[in-house]
Amino acid sequence: MIAKWIEEADAKSAYGLGELLNNLGQKDHKLTEFIISYVDPQLIANNLAQIVISDAYVWGYFLGRVAYAASRGWLMRLKDSLDATALHSLFSNLGVKFNDIDSLNELAEGISSLDHSLAVKLVDLAIPKITLAINCDIIKFQDISNIISFVLGFAPNFLRYKRPSKYQEQIACKLADGIDARSVAQFISKSRRRDWQNYEELVCFLNEVMPGKATQIARLVDLNALDNTAKGLWGNPPYELLCIINALAAGDDYEPARSWINRHSNELVSLHPLLVAIAPESTTSILRQGYNLDFRLGDLADWDLAALAIRHLSIVDKELASMVLRTNYQGIAQGLVLKRHDCDYKGFPEFLNLMDDLAPDILKECLESLDPTTIRNSWSERLKGKSTKVNGKVEERQAAEALINLIIDKNITSLVDVAHELKKYIKIDQ
């Protein structure tokens, strides 16, 4: 009966059937594989070939849930049955109505779960309409988040398990090239606080794909106009303000974000590592007054930002940088456990090197405070490596290797046996 429902799915039933498959699959994946084995994939492909853009969202969700619930062999049959010509026509003739981009976004992700190469080609066909929509209202960028992350491969670091392919990069560059810098800058200048995170995601995407375009946008933003919205927020900068500051930190000089922070430095009461990384000169005076800088390394740590902040701070005042590390002793010790795989470990080895130079005694105390059993479990997980590949390795793996080598080099008595034990696994994998 359920197989028959799936074969006869339409715009009214597709979303609900997707929910059903999702719930059943979480409880018993073998069951959903069995159910879908009785579904004729050609019938699904025929229905998909006849959809209109207004129905694309529910069909995209349905395809994603089918891909989750079905066996690999059945999915290959569905992939071979897809009518690429009909899908090309749908994506080529996209309108720019309010819901069209969001619907396209969901459908592109659903198709990518079956045929990723086809999904990228379809997105390529729709780029003129996508960029037109974004240039008319850049809030539309949030409507293509799945395309950016999962079709083109530019997901946040903790979700990115491999680099985008050359073809994905090519299409991403085509998308970035079509975005008008002046229009985006005008939107940002007059933006609302609730939109700042979305603008940061857009600029960060551009900064990776087409840095010159990101810099151009940042230079065109009217800080005086933006000040009207940011008024009263600088004392304890909220998350949204940090987002827009990060978006404006363009180029090697981090301008105009650095100048904007300097303009409001006398209003700052609490500090975030981002502010210190971008404008160390204006934030050192606040730190000298006794204000605390929390690197937030105990849970979902951003080691790259922490390393950047401490490196820039040490250039301005090495003694102050050492003091900041000492006040972060507890958080650093918790962070060295490497408990989570979804942290940004990109700057972890640099952070260790900086700490070894600026506060070696505190680094040693942090290491000696670690529990051998706990780190054996967590570091062995990090050595499996699940984050973005860098130089043939992965960032979380590099973090674990750096700690293991450091413990052996410094002969941390309580941990050296565990380090040598884990070192053997490194050699075996290599």
Average pLDDT of the residues in 414-426: 87
Condensed to tens digits (0 to 9), the pLDDT of residues 238-253 reads 999 999 999 999 888 9
Is pLDDT of 138 > 90?
Answer: no
- Do 109 and 60 contact (CB within 8 A), yes or no? yes
Is pLDDT of 324 > 80?
Answer: yes
| Tokens (6 digits) for 149 | 């992350």
Average pLDDT of the residues in 147-170: 88
DSSP β-bridge partners for residue 390: 393
Q: Cis peptide leading into 256, omega within 30 of 0?
A: yes
Residue 203: pLDDT band with limits 50, 70, 90 = very high
pLDDT-wise least confident of 162-166, 325-329, 341-345: 341-345
Secondary structure class of 75 (helix, strand, coil): helix
Residue type, 272: H
Q: What is the pLDDT of residue 99?
A: 66
Give the HSE-up count for residue 187: Cα atoms under 13 Å, Cβ half-sphere: 23
**In terms of C-beta density within 10 A (0-12 exposed, 13-18 middle, 19 or more buried), how is residue 112 classed?**
buried
Condensed to tens digits (0 to 9), the pLDDT of residues 17-27 reads 999 999 998 99
Residues 6+ apart with CB under 8 A from 177: 210, 213
Condensed to tens digits (0 to 9), the pLDDT of residues 76-93 reads 999 999 999 999 999 988
Residue (of 50, 229, 53, 26) closest to 129 by Cα position: 53
Neighbour-count burial for 137-162, b at 16+ CB within 10 Å, e otherwise: ebbbbbbbbbbbbbbbbbbeebeeee
Secondary structure (DSSP) of 132-162: HHHHH-GGGGGGGHHIIIIIS----GGG--S
Sign of CA dihedral 227, 233, 234, 239: negative
- Do 325 and 333 contact (CB within 8 A), yes or no? no
Condensed to tens digits (0 to 9), the pLDDT of residues 103-132 reads 999 999 999 999 999 999 999 999 999 999
Average pLDDT of the residues in 44-72: 93
Condensed to tens digits (0 to 9), the pLDDT of residues 266-308 reads 999 889 999 999 999 998 888 888 778 888 887 678 899 999 9
DSSP 94: -
Residue type, 165: S
Q: What is the pLDDT of residue 2?
A: 85
Residue (of 65, 156, 157, 61) closest to 102 by Cα position: 61
Condensed to tens digits (0 to 9), the pLDDT of residues 335-389 reads 999 988 778 888 999 999 999 999 999 999 999 999 999 999 999 989 887 545 5
Helix, strand, coil shares of the chain as percentages rounded to 5? 70, 5, 25
| Tokens (6 digits) for 384 | 């499996």
